[in-house]
Structures are given as structure tokens and as C-alpha cells.
């Protein structure tokens, strides 16, 4: 029996290591860094960010410095960094506004995932890959860093902590949002989702983030939240008072758009007429019960507020602007009836209220939370 002869393996060349991302590659991630007069922080932050992405991110990437009308040495530093690193680009805008800078950077990019972070790098970079991964896998459409969810580690002063928490509570009460942190400067969106959402966003300043997320929820898109480590920048340039006033104006504008149904609903957010019809019927029954003991306007306000309170407890947060629209329409209808037919009875009042409710069908009052496909399943 012949013994098998051992043959030594032929010498082969070592497997080449993956080549680093090249500026000729179309990036998978385009990370915008909006800046205004950041000559002190820009260079060290971009170098640190570039090193982190080079060492940890497994796909081609780009860092886009979006300079919105800086008047110091920021443009010169950005241009120098873009000349030094193939993965760094620089765009210059003639007007200020973080939202304007992000829109410009994202609109021109063909990357699969569009993201941004603040130049002070307050958010720990270890959360960057967890932020982007659900978008690359197709699990989610947007991803946001949150400082207000379990697992987040935040170091900041009490004033900013209170302002941030109050702002997000206000969003829940007025716009019925479900995301936990609208203001964290650490967000990402798939390009196909951005192409749908950006035409719906009007703000060009700090409210841009909030409006983008509200539009995403209304369209039924999936928003993934990543708890982050976050350290407050003591040299922050954000003017709290003017920013807060601008945010309040933005909330009012978006709330009115929601109440009028001006924001289009996506395939996964279809409102049912049934809850609206039940709410209208309940309002009419309560009105009929209360009306004999009080005036028409008081009975209308009390019964409508009671319906809204019950819906809050049973179905989740409902936006106040939608309640205000319904209250204004029903109260105006009763006033018009009293003006034209002073002797109108209770039945006529009920008929007018029913007509006012029908004017809002299929409903600008979102009864209950919007459900995505994942929640429905």
C-alpha cells in the first residue's frame, strides 16, 4: 500500500489589506460639520474626527465642513484641511443658519447616509457607528443621538439641562412627538429619506432638526435613538433666549400646519375616520347633556375639553393646536348660528356642531399615536 506523500503548500503572496477610503470613491457616509466663526475648534475637531473615522469606520467616508458666513479665519482653515485630507471637503454659504448649512451639504451629496455633528464634538464619537449602522442595514430611516434616554451620560449645567428637558416636554404636549431629544447635534438620515423630507422643512436655523423629525414621524419613517455620552461645551455660541423664541415660533408654525393637515402623511401613516367620528359623537352627546345647564359656548368648550382629556388618557398625547382648531371652528359655528338665527334651539346647535365636525373629516386631529409598520406587527 503506497503511503500518501506530503506535499508542502506552494508559496503564495499575502492577502493585501483593504485599501483606505479614497476621495475617488463615492462615500457611504457624508458627515457634515456646520460652522460659524469656529477658527479655534475647527482644526483640532476635524483632525480628531478624521482620525476616528479612518481607524473605526469600515466604509468610504467624507467630512463636509459647511461654513455658513464665517467672518474670522474659519474659511481659510477649512480650505487648508480640505487640501490636506482627500476625505475632507469644504463649502461656503453666504448666509448664516445651521439648517441652511445642512440643507446645502446634504442636497449636494450622493452618499448613502447623510449625517452631521457639532464642531465642538460634545457627543462622544464612540456612538457614531451605532448611529449609522441601522441606516446602512436598512432597519431605520433616521437616527438621532439622545441625552434623555436611559444609558446616556450627560455632563452639563442645570440651566441647559432644564431648558432641554422643558423643550422636549413642550414638543410632546404640542406636537405629539415620540422622539426623546430633538436638539442633540448628532443625527443621521438615509439619503432617500432626506430627499423626501427636505422639501417639507422650511426652517433654516436651529429648529431645522425638530421640523425634520416631526416631518419624518408624520411620514411614518423609522427613527432610531442612540443614547450618547455628552459633555457640555462651556464656550457654546448658542444664544438661549433668541433660540428659544425662534423655536417657539417654529412650534407654532408646525403645529398650525399639522392642524390644517398641511404635512402629507406617508404610506404608513393613514388616519382612520372612525376615531374622529367617535370623538365627534361623544362631543355632541356631552354638549346635549351640559347645554341645558349653561350657555352654548360654555357647554361647547367644556364638552370638547372633556373629550380631549379622555383621549389624552386613552390614546396618548394629542397636539394642542389641533384642539384649538376644532374649538375655534365649533365656537365660530355656534356664534354664526346665534347671529343669523337668534331664536335657534338646541337641536339647531347640535346640527351646526355636527356640520363643523364633518368639515374636518377625514380629520386633522390625530387621535392616538401614529403607528409604524413595526409597531403594527
Name the residues annotated as catalytic. Answer: 209
Q: Omega of the bond prior to 362 within 30 degrees of 0, cis?
A: yes
Kindly write down the DSSP assignment for every residue of 62-101, as one continuous string: EEEEEEES--SSHHHHHHHHHHH-TTEEEEEESS--HHHH
Kindly write down the DSSP assignment for every residue of 157-203, as one continuous string: -HHHHHHHHHHHHHHHHHH----S-S--SEEEEEHHHHHHHGGG---
Instruction: Supply φ then ψ for residue 349, to 5 degrees.
Output: -60, -45
Nearest Cα neighbor of 374 from 192, 181, 220 is 220
Nearest Cα neighbor of 187 from 216, 161, 225, 243 is 225
Asked whether the beta carbons of 91 and 105 are under 8 A apart, the reply is yes
Grid coordinates standing for 197?
A: 423630507
Beta sheet of 113-117, edge-to-edge order: 88-93, 61-68, 29-35, 113-117, 186-190, 142-146, 223-227
Identify the burial level of 237 via C-beta atoms within 10 angstroms of its C-beta, where 0-12 means exposed, 13-18 middle and 19 or more buried: exposed
Which phi-psi region, left, alpha or beta, contains residue 145 (left: φ > 0; alpha: ψ -120 to 50)? beta
3-state SS, one letter per residue, for 345-365: CHHHHHHHHHHHHHCCCCCCC
User: Cell 429619506 belongs to which residue?
Assistant: 193
Residue 325's contacts (CB-CB under 8 Å, 6 or more residues apart) are 259, 260, 360, 364, 365
Neighbours of 302 (CB within 10 A): 16
Strands 142-146 and 153-155: unpaired
Amino acid at each position: 500500500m503506497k503511503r500518501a506523500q506530503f506535499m508542502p503548500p506552494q508559496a503564495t503572496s499575502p492577502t493585501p489589506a483593504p485599501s483606505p477610503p479614497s476621495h475617488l470613491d463615492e462615500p457611504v457616509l457624508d458627515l457634515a460639520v456646520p460652522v460659524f466663526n469656529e477658527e479655534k475648534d475647527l482644526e483640532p475637531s476635524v483632525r480628531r474626527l478624521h482620525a476616528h473615522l479612518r481607524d473605526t469606520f469600515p466604509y468610504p467616508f467624507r467630512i463636509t465642513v459647511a461654513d455658513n458666513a464665517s467672518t474670522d479665519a474659519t474659511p481659510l482653515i477649512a480650505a487648508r484641511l480640505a487640501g490636506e485630507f482627500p476625505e475632507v471637503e469644504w463649502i461656503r454659504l453666504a448666509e448664516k443658519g445651521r439648517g441652511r448649512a445642512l440643507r446645502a451639504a446634504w442636497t449636494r451629496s450622493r452618499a448613502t447616509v447623510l449625517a452631521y455633528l457639532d464642531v465642538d464634538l460634545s457627543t462622544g464619537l464612540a456612538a457614531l457607528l451605532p448611529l449609522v449602522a441601522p441606516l446602512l442595514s436598512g432597519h431605520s430611516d433616521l437616527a438621532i443621538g439622545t441625552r434623555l434616554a436611559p444609558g446616556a451620560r450627560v455632563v452639563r449645567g442645570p440651566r441647559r439641562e432644564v431648558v432641554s428637558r422643558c423643550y422636549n416636554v413642550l414638543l410632546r404636549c404640542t406636537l405629539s412627538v415620540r422622539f426623546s431629544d430633538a436638539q442633540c447635534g448628532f443625527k443621521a438620515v438615509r439619503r432617500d429619506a432626506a430627499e423626501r423630507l427636505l422639501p417639507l422643512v422650511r426652517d433654516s436655523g436651529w429648529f431645522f432638526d425638530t421640523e425634520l423629525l416631526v416631518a419624518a414621524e408624520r411620514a411614518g419613517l423609522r427613527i432610531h435613538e442612540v443614547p450618547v455620552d455628552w459633555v457640555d461645551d462651556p464656550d457654546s455660541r448658542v444664544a438661549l433666549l433668541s433660540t428659544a423664541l425662534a423655536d417657539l415660533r417654529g412650534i407654532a408654525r408646525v403645529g398650525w400646519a399639522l392642524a390644517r393637515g398641511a404635512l402629507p402623511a406617508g404610506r404608513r401613516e393613514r388616519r382612520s375616520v372612525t376615531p374622529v367620528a367617535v370623538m365627534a359623537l361623544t362631543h355632541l352627546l356631552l354638549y346635549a347633556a351640559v347645554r341645558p345647564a349653561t350657555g352654548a359656548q360654555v357647554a361647547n368648550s367644556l364638552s370638547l375639553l372633556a373629550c380631549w382629556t379622555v383621549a389624552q388618557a386613552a390614546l396618548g398625547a394629542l397636539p394642542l393646536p389641533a384642539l384649538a382648531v376644532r374649538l375655534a371652528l365649533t365656537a365660530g359655528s355656534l356664534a354664526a348660528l346665534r347671529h343669523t338665527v337668534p331664536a335657534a334651539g338646541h337641536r339647531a346647535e347640535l346640527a351646526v356642531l355636527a356640520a363643523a365636525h364633518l368639515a374636518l373629516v377625514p380629520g386633522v386631529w390625530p387621535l392616538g399615536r401614529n403607528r409604524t409598520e413595526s409597531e403594527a406587527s
